[in-house]
Amino acid sequence: MSMAAPPANVIQLRGVYRTYEMGDQVLHALNDVDLDIARNEYVAIVGASGSGKSTLMNLIGCLDRATRGEYRLEGIPVGGMNEIELARIRNREIGFVFQSFNLLARASALKNVMQPLVYRGMPRAERRERAAEALQRVGLGDRLDSRPNQLSGGQRQRVAIARALVGQPAILLADEPTGNLDSQTSREIMGLIDQVHDAGQTVIMVTHEPDIAAHCRRVIRLEDGRVAEDRRQAA
């Protein structure tokens, strides 16, 4: 085979543990998790606080490493990677969207979206062009030079989504993307994320709001670090 077909599962977790030692207590934030997520799935991870959602999110996002078990992203085992390789994966394969937007306060919308491309060593002109395009797609083509504090919450989250997608990552990871937004704006943002999914993007979202989870085709509920429920639903 000259060209290896991409593996069907973008994400593959096998027997994954993430344990924290606090004094002599051992806390299993993730406790023997098996999980497969295929290309273009639309997944919600739900669960009570302390159930391990954020830990799972950080692990999938390569911000953290499993204590035990195997994590393959696009078929590549992440466990043995060093810091530089992990940074490279975060840069190329993952787009983060956070509850609190996490934009660079001093930089314009355009610069925020250009930032991930900096770490690819992409020439400035090309970065600018791609970032402008990405902002256009989220409907902010006319706010390229606005700073985060000149934008509304919804607009900020749009910038964050543009930033997450500008590098064409394998997955979009959203952590409570509507948590800081009013219901009208939340609907707009969810509409945008739906569009992203419809365009073929794999989307994984952490949320505790049932009506947000209802957008997703698959809901994974965590309890005490284990997968308690894995349910598929119609859109």
Sole residue written with tokens 């770490």: 119
- Residue placing its CB nearer to another protein in the complex, 115 or 217: 115
Pairing between β-strand 42-47 and β-strand 202-206 as defined by DSSP bridges: parallel
Q: 130 to each of 105, 120, 139, 177, how far by Cα in Å?
A: 21, 13, 14, 23
Residue list 72-101, contact with another protein (CB under 8 A): 83-84, 87-88, 90-92, 96, 98
- Residue placing its CB nearer to another protein in the complex, 106 or 232: 106
Distance CA 180, CA 174 (A): 13
**For another protein, which residue of 119, 168, 210, 233 counts as binding (CB under 8 A)?**
119
Q: 10 to each of 93, 138, 184, 201, how far by Cα in Å?
A: 10, 25, 32, 11
| E-state strands within 51-176 | 68-73, 76-77, 94-97, 171-175
Distance CA 86, CA 89 (A): 5
Residue type, 228: A
Question: What is the x/- site pattern for another protein, positions 191-220, by CB under 8 A?
Answer: ------------------------------
Q: How many of the chain's residues bind another protein (CB under 8 A)?
A: 29
**For another protein, which residue of 115, 146, 180, 185 counts as binding (CB under 8 A)?**
115
- Residue placing its CB nearer to another protein in the complex, 2 or 82: 82
- Residue 49 CB burial class (10 angstroms; 0-12, 13-18, ≥19): exposed
20 binds another protein per the rule CB under 8 A: no
Distance CA 118, CA 110 (A): 13
Interface region with another protein, contact rule CB under 8 A, candidates 18-26, 36-44, 103-111, 211-219: 103-111
**For another protein, which residue of 40, 102, 146, 180 counts as binding (CB under 8 A)?**
102
**For another protein, which residue of 105, 142, 149, 184 counts as binding (CB under 8 A)?**
105
Residue type, 224: D
Interface region with another protein, contact rule CB under 8 A, candidates 6-14, 30-38, 58-66, 183-191: 58-66
Q: Contact positions toward another protein, by CB under 8 A? A: 58, 61, 63-64, 83-84, 87-88, 90-92, 96, 98, 102-107, 115-116, 118-123, 163, 167
